Amino acid sequence: MSNLIRGEFYKLRKSKYFIGIIFLTLIISYFLLRRFYAIVTSVGNPSLELQNGMYSIEYAFENIVGTGFIFSLFAGEFVAKDLKNNMSKSFTYGYKRSKVILSKLIVFIISFLFLELIYITILIIHTSIAYGFYKALNYSTILYLIRLIVIGIMYNVATMSIVFMIAIITKSNVCTVISPSLFMLAITAALNSKEPIPSIVSFVFPFIVGEKALARFAPNLDIIISIISSVAIFTITTLISLLYVKHKDIK
């Protein structure tokens, strides 16, 4: 397993597309910053509450749908294309299919978090210089910061596991790249439908309920549902990916 993970990282380091993905991430950072400042300075918003570096963390996590196309591009190349063209070699070398898929999932998630860290760091530094990180770092604030980071990572990873599953099943760059459009459809369905459809959609797509759980004074129920949703969806999508590859002929 460790050899497979090292091999995936080696392929990633040698790839040209990953450099392009990093460059796109830097470009996205610029647009995220512009939108952040537009939000916190717009009329009608509690600008004093939002003008701080800590809010930029929440803002970055909440934009997983908007930044998702970068990670879907990455998944298209790293997962779908590799599965279609090269991964059968790993199977013929004697590695179990489950280990091959798990190693690719691990490297995909780590790389995704690295890319996300790039624009989150840029946001934090830039906004903290402009407004300060937070007005008072007390015990309550530190606990909220920990919750913000943990839940943000959990539901972002769970959301990307859906993209990973789509890449595994379709083995198509195009299908993987357009997969974030499913997230937009999910939001539309959640907003325009009657119960219980919004509740079901919110659970299936962790970023919907996850955004509620990121709020400073979020109800405990929203936090619990967000955690359960993230763990459940990540587990389900991983199992589906493993079962699909196990029973599917890879050529």
- Domain of 193, in residue numbers: 2-247
Query: Cβ distance 208 to 187 under 8 Å?
Result: yes
Each residue's pLDDT tens digit, 118-133: 999 999 999 999 888 8
Q: For 150-169, what is each residue's pLDDT tens digit? A: 999 999 999 999 999 999 99
Domain count, the chain: 1
Predicted TM-score (pTM) of the model is: 0.88
- Cα of 214 vs its chain's centroid, Å: 15
- In the structure, what pLDDT confidence band is assigned to residue 57 with cuts at 50, 70 and 90? very high
| 101: its two tokens | 């898929």
pLDDT score at 228? 93
Which of 52-81 are b and which e, b meaning 16 or more Cβ less than 10 Å from the residue's Cβ? bbbbbbbbbbbbbbebbbbbbbbbbbbbbb
